[in-house]
Amino acid sequence: MSSLAERYAYQLLEARAHSQTLEPLTAHAELSIADAYDISKSLDTIRIAEGETPLGRKLGFTNRRLWPKYGEKEAIHAPMWTTLFDSTVRFLDEPYTVQSLAGALQPRIEPEVVFKIGRTPAPDASLDELADCLEWMAHGIEIDVSPFPDWKFEAADAIAAFGLHGTLLVGEPRMLSSASRHHLGEVLANASVSLSCDGSLLGAGFGSNVLDSPLHAIWHLHQLLKTQPQFPPLQAGEIITTGSWTDAYPVLPGQTWVTAFSGLSLPGLSVSFV
């Protein structure tokens, strides 16, 4: 798959650079999930060679409620991940920001929780031990994009196409104490977030929608990476965005979107799109 993976990778990079749509890769070839991660690995190699810096990982499709809505031949039924690079991550100084949608193909918005790993977890780390490795958490808003018309694709297409990642906006980090880490999974599961556009509530969701808790999502990624030796395991210094608490909603220039949490000490964010 290596030479073919590289060819697909350049095709996807070209489409992204010129904001062009593509037919799903699976429309022309039988691509397995493993094949898709080979393409993702080729993308990482090319992007690093061109000067981009990996910052962490983006998890997608961790919200089980969304699985039946995506996938044409077969519904999405498992989470996926992709590498985050410095070129698509913005750390915000204020709870309000302006974000350009220039070049973003069919953008959609997702409210998430982002973590920074402060200490490299052991390969056999339990859920509690993994929580102890986290340095901070923050609210994140991810702008997902799709080069595939009408957001119609298979799981392998989504993985290969940068995990559908466009831009990640990261709010103010909140340091995690030993006490807060001890109950983190439960607190996150019981918290909720609302998502409004121009004053109208459009969506709401619980942390439990994200594989029962965003902390569980990180543990899932930690386990998955054991089966993918071509990728590095989780390491200290990485940021991990854990997936949407709500459905992904289309966004347009001129709109202002606002989030608010309940049961979680994270400030909401307000984003105006241009």
The predicted pLDDT at position 95 comes to: 97
Q: What is the mean pLDDT of the chain?
A: 96
At 150, list the tokens. Answer: 């009408």
- pLDDT tens column, 1-11: 578 999 999 99
* pLDDT beyond 90 at 144: yes
Q: What contacts 207, CB < 8 A, 6 or more positions away?
A: 113, 188, 189, 190, 191, 192, 213, 214, 245, 264
Mean pLDDT for the stretch of residues 101-124: 97
Q: Is 272 exposed, middle or buried (0-12, 13-18, 19+ CB in 10 A)?
A: middle
The predicted pLDDT at position 1 comes to: 57
Q: What percent of the chain is predicted at pLDDT more than 70?
A: 100
* pLDDT beyond 70 at 30: yes
* Per-residue DSSP letter, 16: H
Q: Is there a contact between 65 and 207 (Cβ–Cβ < 8 Å)?
A: no
Mean pLDDT for the stretch of residues 23-33: 94
- pLDDT tens column, 217-261: 999 999 999 999 999 999 999 999 999 999 999 999 999 999 999
- pLDDT tens column, 40-59: 999 999 999 999 999 999 99
Q: Where are the alpha helices (DSSP H) in the chain?
A: 2-17, 33-49, 127-132, 155-160, 178-182, 184-190, 214-225
CATH class of residue range 2-273: alpha beta
At 142, list the tokens. Answer: 């991810």
The predicted pLDDT at position 2 comes to: 79
The predicted pLDDT at position 146 comes to: 97
DSSP-derived 3-state class of residue 162: helix
Every domain of the chain and the residues it spans: 2-273
The predicted pLDDT at position 170 comes to: 98
The predicted pLDDT at position 184 comes to: 95
Mean pLDDT for the stretch of residues 119-130: 96
Mean pLDDT for the stretch of residues 182-196: 96
